[in-house]
């Protein structure tokens, strides 16, 4: 497995990470715990060293799963987790819901996450969503304190705009920004990606396979359980799926030239954008994991990238991402 560094930091990770959320949270049915532990071990054996979780996934159960599964590999893997949602430490999500990035809350989350992850220091600590009630300088300052105390190694933001990134980075350098980014969701290219490049911040795209659509395995006859976010997603209505088939046709055309799959081309396209981009596709199946890992070996030519650019400029993707 190739390695990449996230921005100007010394945080080196596998070129492809693994999103762990759906192993214990989200779409029904969630994975069996022992099977997921075995799966996480298989990911490490295949060279994956970058794992993504959050306290809100469950809440808490995903961090516990990742912590237990990766305990034998301490020092060999990088675990990223997140703070920022309003949660009761015992009961889970509070009835009022919402965000909470008060400095005292951030420090409480860090202490709890350290225990669940079974580590002495959190490798990468993201603010999960920007809290409009707490100045980003206060958030960055709280994480800076945790870094100075040795409880956190690197600071990250998720779904932040360019101005917020700059303000936070001035207080505590940001190692990575996590944001949705894929061949069919490219809004961050206008202002956010150039800001990351200028400041030396790595990008960690989530939903790099468009919540499964870019694998080419989904058509208008695909159905979803009510617990699945896609059952309420505008891009997964029958009309949108039919209209967006053009994206899959493009991926299949390029894939045929490389002996690859549409998913591998979608991931290879991301990897080809910048050397400091590390996608984190989620997976629970070994075959899918191995397919995703295969994308690292796919080298898209400048002609491939130009063809994708030309074709995508002619395609109007139907449906909002949420």
Distance CA 125, CA 110 (A): 8
Distance CA 98, CA 83 (A): 12
Cis peptide before 29 (omega within 30 of 0): yes
C-alpha atoms less than 13 angstroms from C-alpha of 274 in its C-beta half-sphere? 22
Distance CA 237, CA 115 (A): 41
Asked if 77 and 50 touch (Cβ cutoff 8 Å), the reply is: yes
Reduced to 3 states (helix: H, G, I; strand: E, B; else coil), residue 128 is coil
Residue with tokens 């959320």: 21
Residue 177: CB atoms within 10 Å = 30
Sign of CA dihedral 181, 184, 188, 190: positive
Distance CA 84, CA 225 (A): 28
Task: Mark whether 181 is an active-site residue.
Answer: no
Residues with catalytic roles: 57
């Amino acid at each position: 497995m190739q390695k990449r560094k996230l921005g100007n930091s010394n945080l080196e990770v596998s070129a492809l990470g693994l999103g762990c959320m759906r192993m214990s949270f989200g779409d029904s049915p969630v994975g069996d715990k022992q099977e997921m532990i075995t799966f996480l071990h298989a990911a490490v054996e295949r060279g994956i060293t970058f794992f993504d979780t959050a306290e809100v996934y469950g809440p808490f159960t995903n961090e516990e799963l990742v912590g237990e599964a990766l305990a034998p590999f301490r020092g060999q893997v990088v675990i990223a987790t997140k703070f920022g949602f309003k949660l009761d430490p015992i009961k889970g999500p509070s009835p009022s819901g919402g965000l909470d990035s008060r400095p005292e809350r951030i420090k409480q989350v860090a202490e709890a996450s350290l225990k669940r992850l079974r580590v002495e220091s959190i490798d990468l600590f993201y603010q999960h969503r920007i809290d409009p009630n707490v100045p980003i300088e206060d958030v960055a300052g709280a994480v800076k304190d945790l870094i100075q105390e040795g409880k956190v190694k690197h600071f990250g933001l998720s779904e932040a705009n360019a101005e917020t990134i700059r303000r936070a980075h001035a207080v505590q350098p940001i190692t990575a920004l996590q944001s949705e980014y894929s061949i069919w969701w490219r809004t961050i290219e206008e202002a956010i990606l150039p800001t990351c490049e200028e400041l030396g911040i790595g990008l960690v795209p989530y939903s790099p396979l468009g919540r499964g659509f870019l694998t080419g395995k989904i058509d208008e006859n695909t159905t979803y359980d009510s617990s699945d976010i896609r059952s309420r997603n505008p891009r997964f209505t029958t009309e949108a799926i039919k209209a967006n088939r053009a994206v899959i046709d493009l991926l299949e055309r390029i894939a045929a030239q490389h002996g690859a799959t549409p998913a591998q081309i979608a991931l290879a396209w991301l990897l080809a954008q910048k050397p400091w981009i590390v996608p984190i596709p989620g997976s629970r199946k070994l075959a899918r994991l191995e397919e995703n890992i295969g994308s690292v070996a796919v080298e898209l030519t400048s002609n491939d990238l130009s063809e994708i650019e030309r074709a995508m400029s002619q395609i109007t993707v139907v449906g909002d991402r949420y």
